[in-house]
Amino acid sequence: FMKWIKYVEDLNKANPDKKTTLMSVLAKQYDSESLAKMMESAKDVPQWAKLVLQLETEQKWMAKGTPNDYFKQLKLDKVGKDVLRSTQLKTWLNYVKEYNAANPKYQATLIGTLAANYGEVKLVKMLDEAMKVKDTASAAKKLQSELFQRWIQLNWTPEYIFAKVLRLDQDGNKLFRNPLVTTWGKYLIAFNRDNYGKETTIWRMLAATGIDPDDLRPVADKAPEQFFAMMGLTDKGHNLLISPEFAKWIHYLDDFYDELRNSRKTMMTTLRNHYDDKSLVNMITSASKTSKTKEIAKSVEFELFKTWHDVSYKTTDEIFTILNLDRAGSSLFTGPWLDTWIRYMIMFDEGYFRDHMPKMLLKYYDENDLSQMIKTAKSNPNTEKLASEIEDVLNLYKK
């Protein structure tokens, strides 16, 4: 019997594509009752215990079939967009863990099984919908990353995904209204990151699929706004700049306007359509505290200051009131507003800042009250530096 087991193992190694199991052969020779008695008796023999465990596991697999078979048995192939919320999914995942542990060369994955049962396009749409639901957003984002890696491993280029999988080449000048183009754009970024030297851009890819970029110029100005909304960035609040989706959106802008130089608009045009200036300052402050998003925070602040100065023509006095610094009272040093206002002045004229900043503060605040606020702020590690700088400028102004 042991020689036969060794023979089956060697046969499986030599023919991995036609792998068989011990239980599948035994089941053809003995009925279920006889097999059960044989395994029960063998459990008491130490040298057979491991083999019995293997046979029991194989017996369970035979009842349930492959992970894909079991997926269908649980009717997970019929659930659709709610599959990630299905209680049966956990049962299936536990089965897959056992299956993969015993079959290291034949790993089943959730993303591969979903794709096999739903198809690529429906799966993309399902994941997009799941990312909008709080309970499934995290799992859906992880699965989308795994889907992109699957496409990369299959050597599916952005051009192939665009034309053959998502069929976006059929949308014409309505391309940027299709939510699928957002997912495709994310894949483009993932593909470029993993294929150094083979990177492509939106416009080169469009040309390769037979689309004339000139046909899209009339609608290109609306694309950043549409991408912004489709990527769920309109309601991120103070977490906007630290969202991975925001970094991808900026990548879109760079890619877009590299080709459409005459149509260039700053990111601020879209941001200010959805958030007021105080909200943007709050976002910048939050992002500047994280090493991964510190550079993004600097970039957004620079664009905001440029917009105030070059587009909105806001004076430093107007920004002072926009940030409600004229009525901050004892909370003057609380929050990012005062520091932001000072940086705005320094960016365009440091000399003006040293002369004008004291005038503005003394216009709205009593000198004694201001001195007391500075003293209090200096005792706080978070505001000590700012308070000391303002105190120095005020002392120079009084001389």
In degrees, rounded to 5, the angle at the alpha carbon of residue 383 between the alpha carbons of residues 382 and 386 is: 135
The pLDDT value given to residue 253 = 76
Identify which has the larger pLDDT, 143 or 187: 143
Residue 261, pLDDT above cutoff 60 = no
Distance CA 318, CA 33 (A): 88
Token output for 93:
């995942």
Q: Identify the top-confidence range among 55-59, 75-79, 211-215, 395-399.
A: 75-79
- Tens of pLDDT, residues 202-254: 667 666 666 666 666 655 666 777 778 767 788 888 889 988 888 888 877 77
pTM of the model: 0.56
63-67: long-range contacts, CB 8 A cutoff, minimum separation 24: 64/95, 66/99, 66/108, 67/92, 67/95, 67/96, 67/99, 67/108, 67/113
Identify which has the larger pLDDT, 231 or 319: 319
Residue 146, pLDDT above cutoff 80 = yes
The pLDDT value given to residue 112 = 94
Distance CA 64, CA 58 (A): 10
The pLDDT value given to residue 81 = 86
Distance CA 355, CA 343 (A): 14
Mean pLDDT, residues 163-170: 85
- Tens of pLDDT, residues 26-52: 666 766 557 656 666 667 667 667 776
Sign of CA dihedral 150, 205, 213, 241: positive
Sign of CA dihedral 111, 113, 117, 119: positive
Domain ranges of the chain: 314-399
Find all residues with CB under 8 Å of 73, minimum gap 6, and list them.
Answer: 64, 65
The pLDDT value given to residue 263 = 47
- Tens of pLDDT, residues 171-209: 665 676 777 878 888 888 888 888 877 777 666 766 666
Find all residues with CB under 8 Å of 131, minimum gap 6, and list them.
Answer: 137, 140, 141, 144, 232
Residue 262, pLDDT above cutoff 60 = no
Identify which has the larger pLDDT, 315 or 1: 315
The pLDDT value given to residue 5 = 61
For residues 339 and 390, is the Cβ–Cβ distance under 8 A?
A: no
Residue 46, burial from CB neighbour count under 10 angstroms (0-12, 13-18, 19+): exposed
CA distances from 28 to 48, 61, 64 (A): 21, 16, 17
Mean pLDDT, residues 247-270: 69
Token output for 349:
């004229």
Residue 167, pLDDT above cutoff 80 = yes
Distance CA 49, CA 55 (A): 10
- The mean of the pLDDT values for the chain is 81
State percent of the chain over pLDDT 90: 27
* DSSP 3-state of 186: helix
Torsion of CA 283, 284, 286, 288, to 10 degrees: 160
